[in-house]
Structure 1
Amino acid sequence: MKDIGFLGLGIMGGPMARNLIAAGNRVTVWSHNGAKAAAFAQKHSCEVVKTPEEVARRCSTTFLCVGDTAMSRDVILGEQGLVHGAARGSLIADCSTVSPMASKAIGKALAEKGIRFLDSPCTGSKPGAEGGTLSFMIGGEKADFEEARPLFEAMGKTFYYCGPQGSGLHAKMTQNLVLGNIMQAFNEGIVLSTKGGVDPRMMIDILNNTGARSGYVSTKADFVLKGDFSTTFSVRWLEKDLGLALEIAAELGVPMYTTSATQQQLRMARAMGYGEDDICGSIRALEEIASCKVRDAKGKSEA
């Protein structure tokens, strides 16, 4: 039985920590929301502490899954961060989706203290976290990943070792920008065809059986038609992730016209009050502008 730390008990982190416990590890948790952490610890019979530093003092390996770069930096390097409690040779794995540049700087600061570090963002949203079927993209020393692999296997089923520190995050940014652009293409296409008189159910069937098929459409289209925008991956977080991709693109000199437009559409959806909904709910921003609600349409194809 290993002593494992986990920071962040949100929509992803909570199920991930729960799966580590279910795999037989002694887990110590922490959250910005102390009441949430206490309730989690009571429900799952694990330890809870008041600071990240205390987690690191107890655990030789610590995972974190927090919302953004500033949160990640604070819980690792901040005044009560992991760095102040972690022993030399201990391992920190950051599963958050954050800036690769900032993550590499964090890794460098930890290395100066003899602390090992992996950037290990994951994908699979809430269902993957709950089912232990996440996909992880790993950056850092391969030997460190292999040592921690049994712990990752409690949370996921697919693992990509991408290279040195920052590589996992570069891969995650690419995965998310492709996802976001497919989402936006679907939003535009289904609103356009619906306003043109095509039954949206028929249009979705066409998409799913032609070269335009995609995992996003096959997974999310029914939720759009039902108006079920309960969150597995929110508009707010995808908009943040595309912003990170654009920052990387600026640093590397890569033009990203489509991704820029998609991020602006997501930002508009946030401004219209849809930021906490699932990403498929972003379609409502375009529906309002186009005066065409896909869920209410039957289309000429049913006539």
Structure 2
Amino acid sequence: MSVNLPARRVVGSVAALTSSRASTSFLLPCLQRRTIFSFGTKGWGFGKSQQLDPHAKPTNPLTESFLKKKPAAPQLVRGDLAESSIFEDEAASGKKPAKVPAGQKKILPRNPDTMAAALDPDPSARMRWERKMVIREIHKRGRLTRKQLLKKQERELLSKSHDFKTSVKKLVPLARQITGKTVEDAIIQMRFSKKKAAKEVKEHLEHAKNEAIVRKGMGLGVVDGQDFTPMMIQTKDKKSVKVVDPTRLYVDQAWVGKGLYGKSLDSRARGRVYILKNPTTSISLLLKEEKTRIREHEDRQQKIRNRKTWVQLPNRPVTAQRQFYSW
């Protein structure tokens, strides 16, 4: 009959035999009970008898002395603040001063010298600019160019979107699809489009519409007291459109532009990894009101009316001609 003795226990037994108090505990077999059948402290396996007591006091003398010197936690009174409270400063500073009525407040006068640093940072440049504007006004005698007059009479909004995760090739057809349409019709077109980028274009159309209403005051309807008769006009692309509201918004121009490229990994064969360049594209919209399109339609019609009748042989005196040859 053989006894199962691990090597580390045999080595430990040599020291036990040489000592004055020899013990025969090393001769007892050490059984390791690690099975799936563990039923607590009385069953096989590891029981709960070796768990540490969380409420046991430390036996280290340094820890005991530290706990004795540690001050006890202060007892809080109901309605009081702890020392670590974020409202401690307010409690120490006292109550806030009573609010003064708006009519009794003393308004301090503004100091122009202090405000000049922000309002007039470069006085010499401002004086040169004012002198230039006065000279220009005298030369033109108060007359404005046609472009300046149209800027004052007609409103427009240029809105650029953020970069969409798509390419220029895929976004250009959508930009062509909404050009010349009213904003409501363009939103409907993008709503029922099967293109993936149409959803983002629709959201940008809604954003540009709200921005035009809030920032420029466009699309607010006819002013009370002004009558407008619905009329049919012809657009630049030879399409007939019925205008009911002269302040209705439409997409005059739409174009796209390239953005920054993103990078992603493309796993290939034999452990190779390529780098993909993911393109991004933005779309820019120029919104105008229908009265701009009405004015352009009338300009085209007036240009057609001003055309003169083409004559094959105009009635003009014959000059630089002789009845004989000059050679």
Shorter-chain TM-score above 0.5: no
- Provide TM-score, normalisation by structure 2: 0.20
Q: Return the index of the structure with the highest Cα Rg.
A: 2
Greater fraction of residues in helix: 1
